[in-house]
């Protein structure tokens, strides 16, 4: 494993001293946002985590190494290469490692690597889930199975309604993955604060969330926990407006026959174009909001452990 896993000095030291660390994914950089906003956002997210008193650990595969704590140069490279970087979910990991390539890790692959390194808190924008029409396409993100398998807490702003949020919640329930709403009973829908579905548990402080996660581990339950943190009100989008554009993006993807791992990046890009960048601003702000909460939870977790 030593030959395949690289943990930055700073992250290694933080872990050894029981200091709070927050993992971050890299598909959001290469496939989730356009350049240069992707790199600016990734840097700002790290700064927000530092300002909150935790250590950021951006995770990616760099020249075949599972890297925990990417450098500014590495983040810049992933951002500039954009879609040319391989999008790496769990099943893709062995191949980018074997070829000593760069890879941008999804929520699933990032969780797996964070767990290898001993990082328990991971902040991102949105998770993958059950796609609309999954009853015929069977398109269900590997993120959901990873949440069943791997003990890492994922802080997100819910799931975009490019997905079937109701079915995504059903799948999480089946897999025994608890969904916690931060200061809310409503499952957020990424760009908006409410999806029309409920979370499993509402918790109102980072301390309560850390304690619940700690207890999950302490009683021997493997698997993750999803923390859904609604987008701040001032950055939330009009739900009719965003839903209409998501509908158009889905129609276009269907028309073009987009499928498999291209689906999510295609839809993210299309929605950004259709909304003239308005959705990108919301996207950036909700990631900041999640980074801050992730740092607060990580700090509380360190106090318990
Ligand atoms: N949803 C978003 N932004 C993202 C992603 C999803 O709002 O950047 C990315 C994440 O990396 C997520 C991945 O893990 O897409 C899911 O891809 P797939 O549906 O192919 O599993
Ligand atoms: Mn898929």
- What is the tens place of the pLDDT at every residue in 219-263? 999 999 999 999 999 999 999 999 999 999 999 999 999 999 999
Asked if the model's pLDDT at residue 278 lies above 90, the reply is yes
Tokens for 214, please give them.
């700690």
Pocket probe mutation, ligand 1, options 37, 45, 107, 191, max atoms within 8 Å of Cβ: 107
Predicted TM-score (pTM) of the model is 0.98
Asked if the model's pLDDT at residue 73 lies above 90, the reply is yes
Q: Does ligand 1 come within 6 angstroms of the Cβ of 264?
A: yes
Pocket probe mutation, ligand 1, options 85, 90, 128, max atoms within 8 Å of Cβ: 128
The answer to whether residue 207 sits within a structural domain is: no
The answer to whether residue 213 sits within a structural domain is: no
The answer to whether residue 215 sits within a structural domain is: no
Domain count, the chain: 1
| CATH code where residue 146 lies | 3.40.1790.10
What value does the mean pLDDT take over residues 158-184? 97
- Residue ID of nearest Cα to ligand 1 atom 1: 126
Output the CA 264–ligand 2 centroid distance in Å: 7
Model confidence band, residue 88 (pLDDT cutoffs 50, 70, 90): very high
Q: Does ligand 1 come within 6 angstroms of the Cβ of 282?
A: no
Asked if the model's pLDDT at residue 161 lies above 90, the reply is no
The answer to whether residue 239 sits within a structural domain is: yes
Asked if the model's pLDDT at residue 2 lies above 90, the reply is no
pLDDT, residue 69, reads: 99
CB of 98 within 8 A of CB of 66? Answer: no
The answer to whether residue 35 sits within a structural domain is: yes
Q: Would you please indicate which residues are annotated as catalytic (active-site) residues?
A: 25, 160
The answer to whether residue 114 sits within a structural domain is: yes
The answer to whether residue 223 sits within a structural domain is: no
Q: Does ligand 1 come within 6 angstroms of the Cβ of 142?
A: yes
The answer to whether residue 56 sits within a structural domain is: yes
Residue 281 sits in which domain range?
5-150+232-304
Instruction: Indicate the average pLDDT of the chain.
Output: 97
Q: Does ligand 1 come within 6 angstroms of the Cβ of 32?
A: yes
């Amino acid at each position: 494993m030593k030959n395949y896993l690289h943990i930055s000095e700073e992250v290694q030291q933080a872990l050894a001293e029981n200091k709070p660390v927050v993992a971050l994914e890299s598909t959001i950089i290469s496939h989730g946002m356009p350049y240069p906003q992707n790199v600016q956002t990734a840097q700002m997210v790290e700064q927000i985590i530092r300002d909150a008193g935790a250590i950021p650990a951006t995770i990616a595969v760099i020249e075949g190494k599972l890297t925990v704590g990417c450098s500014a140069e590495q983040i810049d490279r992933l951002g500039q290469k954009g879609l040319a970087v391989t999008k790496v979910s769990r099943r893709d990991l062995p191949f980018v490692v074997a070829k000593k390539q760069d890879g941008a890790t999804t929520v699933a692959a990032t969780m797996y690597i964070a767990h290898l390194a001993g990082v328990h808190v991971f902040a991102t924008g949105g998770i993958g889930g059950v796609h609309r029409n999954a009853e015929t396409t069977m398109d269900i993100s590997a993120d959901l199975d990873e949440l069943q398998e791997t003990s890492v807490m994922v802080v997100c702003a819910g799931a975009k309604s490019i997905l079937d949020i109701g079915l995504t919640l059903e799948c999480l329930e089946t897999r025994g993955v608890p969904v916690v709403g931060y200061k809310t009973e409503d499952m957020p829908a990424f760009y908006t604060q409410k999806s029309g579905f409920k979370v499993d548990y509402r918790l109102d402080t980072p301390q309560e969330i850390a304690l619940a996660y700690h207890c999950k581990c302490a009683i021997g339950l493997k698997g993750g926990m999803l923390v859904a943190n609604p987008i701040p009100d001032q950055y939330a989008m009009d739900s009719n407006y965003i839903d209409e554009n998501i509908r158009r993006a889905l129609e276009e993807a269907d028309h073009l026959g987009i499928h498999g791992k291209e689906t999510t990046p295609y839809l993210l890009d299309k929605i950004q174009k259709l909304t003239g960048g308005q959705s990108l601003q919301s996207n950036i702000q909700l990631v900041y909001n999640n980074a801050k909460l992730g740092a607060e939870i990580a700090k509380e977790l360190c106090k318990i452990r």
